[in-house]
Amino acid sequence: MENNIDKQRHSLAHIMAYAVKELYPNVKFGMGPAIESGFYYDFEFPITLEQKDLAKIENRMREIIKREVAFTKKDISKKEAKELFSNQTFKLDLITDIEGETVSTYESGKFTDLCIGPHIKSTKEIKADAFKLTKVAGAYWKGSEKNKMLTRIYGIAFDTKKELDEYVAMQQEAEKRDHRKLGKDLRIFIFSELVGPGLPLWLPNGTTIIDQLESLAKDMENKAGYLRVKTPHIAKEEMYKKSGHLPYYAESMFPPMVLDEDGVKTTYYLKAMNCPHHHQIYAAEPKSYRSLPLRLAEYGTCYRYEKSGELFGLMRVRSMQMNDAHIYCTEEQFAKEFMAVIKLYLQYFKIFGIKKYIMRLSTHSKEGLGKKYIDNEVLWNKTETMVRDIMKKSKIPFVEVPNEAAFYGPKIDVEVWSAIGREFTLATNQVDFAVPERFGLTYIDKGGKEKTPICIHRAPLSTHERLIGFLIEHYAGNFPVWLAPVQVWVVPISDSHRKYAKLVAQDLKENNIRVELKDENETLGKKIREGQGQKIPYLLIIGDKEIKKKSVGVRERKKGDLGMLKFSKFVEQIKKEIESKK
């Protein structure tokens, strides 16, 4: 904790515990660390704490802050500590976990906590109006379901009130943009009890978005020399053993299916990744250096088991359609291929208006070799150096994270920020120097020698589920015209305008524009409100004037009434807008 704000946040956790102690003397204390944007503390309360009780705790915290309480570190022996915390079961538990004979404590006023610090010197350093308690939640002691459920109080804290207010405003905006809420309102996807948790069903609107994303991906991949393949959703256990996914990845896979054919039993799994299938396609024909690079692409559907408690809207699901591809190349081709993938990411960021992003290069750790990672240090160092050099050359912002690699090679995780500044991990780009060998994938090099190709796993558009979840928030449901499920509503003012409205709608359809005719018996005002609610980019209003002049009254979703426009002119304009993907 080098940052003063982290020290303040952690100190506020102590102050909260102090306030709770004054208000509920029989409380038992768990742990209270600083976290991103704030802090929390876990307690065992003698009562059931409710959200409304937070104001009282918050006020008491402000009183304590005003007392200008100092934080004093004291090292004491374990024996003394056990006496000091004699009626605090959780603290005693922590003391037994600590190695050595002394433990470190922090005293602030009449509250002492077991803690290694660091802390601020005094509550004078905290601005009493720049923090807020936010919510009450349940949390298992030490995060294990086997332990007692405690009450966790979360708080947020910043250097200034202004920062706090901005953060709160951003959270509120994020709530409005929540993909689960907008996904329902805009009829994009649903979940069904009968289908099962984590298995989204895409409604016609969502499917249109998917189709547009796929056609974008196909277009980009065609231009970049990818070949498209399709593979089944299941495969035999044997293949996943060969790939190494079984047994290591078994927990993330759905349970096996056993097929009994005339007494011969075969075990199948739903596919959790497309790679082993693609490796089979690679292996189907002998390869020479001339066949490489070979880039196999598939929007493959994968199934992964996530605990039901961890499922979250479209962001954490059990079935996913992945913008997958595997690039098989020689060592000499690697840098160019890897760079091309990185450039593809950047092209997508531009299309989606993603302005802030960072790439995380995850590398191996020496200790993990042979356990978490394939045991070949020379190859690890070599591939990591290659990737690092490429990243440095590309001048793309990146950070290096040790001990986070995939088991077969280093990877790059791409993090992006939505329009309101929320962070999402979208896609990965992985180097694989191990699995091709396990599958016996080879090519004959220029000198006639048999070699193993390197494989790049990449998914710049992530999965449809994750990307669309992100885009809903990013655009607040206002999809750009090229992506909008319905691009135009044609709205006749009264019965006498229906016939012309129908012709307009038909004409738009023939121009490949996604249009709906809104000729129900409702008032114009109601239809306009509804169209705005559905975030339809253009409403075309048809009345006497418009018919007479072969025109349409244009209402744009953000700018409102744009006045009358020749119908042919409108078609020309919207087609241009769609083509430019703006």
Tell me the HSE value of 568 on the side-chain side, using a 13 A CA sphere: 2
DSSP H or E stretch at residue 475: helix 464-475
309/190 Cα distance (integer angstroms)? 18
Looking at the chain, how many residues does it have? 582
**380, amino acid identity:** W
Nearest to Zn ion of 275, 416 (CB atom): 275
Q: What is the DSSP string of 331-360?
A: HHHHHHHHHHHHHHHHHHHHHTT---EEEE
Q: Which is nearer to Zn ion, 292 or 539 (CB)?
A: 292
Considering beta carbons, is residue 57 or 115 the nearer one to Zn ion? Answer: 115
Looking at the Cβ atoms of 269 and 489, the one nearer to Zn ion is 269
Query: Cβ of 154: how many Cβ atoms within 10 Å?
Result: 19
Other CB atoms within 10 A of residue 545 CB: 12
In whole angstroms, how close is the CB of 483 to Zn ion at the nearest point?
A: 26
> Taking the complex as a whole, how short is the minimal distance between the CB of residue 407 and Zn ion, in angstroms?
12
Nearer to Zn ion, 300 or 313 (CB): 300
CB of 580 to Zn ion, least distance (A): 33
Strand partners, 413: 360, 428
- Cβ proximity to Zn ion, 115 vs 136, nearer residue: 115
Name the DSSP class of 453.
Answer: P
Cβ atoms within 10 Å of 467's Cβ, excluding its own: 25
Residue 421 dihedral angles phi and psi, to the nearest 5°: 85, 20
CB of 275 or CB of 508, closer to Zn ion: 275
* Shortest distance, position 391 Cβ to Zn ion, whole Å: 20
| Cis geometry, peptide bond prior to residue 25 (ω within 30 degrees of 0) | no
Closer to Zn ion by CB, 65 or 275: give it: 275
The whole-angstrom separation of Cα 418 and Cα 358 is: 13
Asked if residue 4 lies in contact with residue 160, where contact means CB atoms within 8 angstroms, the answer is no
The residue (of 132 and 277) whose beta carbon lies closer to Zn ion is 277
Q: How far is the CB of 14 from Zn ion (least distance, A)?
A: 5
Structure tokens at 547: 């018919």
CB of 325 to Zn ion, least distance (A): 8
Minimal distance, residue 75 CB to Zn ion, in Å: 14
- Of 9 and 497, nearer to Zn ion (C-beta) is 9
Which residue lies nearer to Zn ion by CB, 108 or 534? Answer: 108
Q: Provide, rounded to whole angstroms, the least separation between the CB of residue 115 and Zn ion.
A: 3
CA 412 – CA 383 distance, rounded (Å):
12
Residue 49 beta carbon to Zn ion: minimum distance, rounded to whole angstroms: 21
Report how far residue 24's alpha carbon sits from residue 95's, in angstroms, rounded to the nearest whole number.
23
d(CA 531, CA 527): 6
In whole angstroms, the minimum distance from the beta carbon of 117 to Zn ion comes to 6
User: Cα dist. 448→287, 344, 444, 530 in Å?
Assistant: 11, 33, 5, 68
* Nearest Cα residue to 152 out of 126, 131, 134: 134
Q: Long-range contacts: 570-579, Cβ < 8 Å, 24+?
A: 570/538, 570/540, 571/507, 571/508, 571/511, 571/513, 574/481, 574/487, 574/488, 574/513, 574/538, 575/511, 575/513, 577/481, 577/482, 578/481, 578/482, 578/487, 578/513, 579/482
Q: Please give the radius of gyration of the chain, using alpha carbons only, rounded to the nearest integer.
A: 29
Nearest residue (CB) to Zn ion, 275 versus 354 = 275
Q: Which residue ranges make up the site for Zn ion (CB under 5 A)?
A: 115, 275, 457
Nearer to Zn ion among residue 42 and residue 53 (C-beta): 42
465 burial (CB, 10 Å; 0-12 / 13-18 / 19+) is buried
In the complex with Zn ion, the residue whose CB is nearer, 49 or 115, is 115
Minimum CB–partner distance for residue 274 and Zn ion (Å): 6
Planar angle of CA 60, 65, 67, nearest 5 degrees: 100
Structure tokens at 344: 């593809």
Q: Are strands 357-362 and 398-401 parallel, antiparallel or unpaired?
A: parallel
For residue 35, give the 3-state DSSP assignment.
Answer: strand
CB of 158 to Zn ion, least distance (A): 19
**Least distance to Zn ion, CB of residue 275, Å:** 3
**Residue 477, Cβ density class (10 Å: 0-12 exposed, 13-18 middle, ≥19 buried):** buried
CB of 149 to Zn ion, least distance (A): 23
* Cβ nearer to Zn ion, comparing 209 with 275: 275
Tokens 């605990």: give the residue: 307
Nearest one of 459, 462, 410 to 434, comparing CA atoms: 410
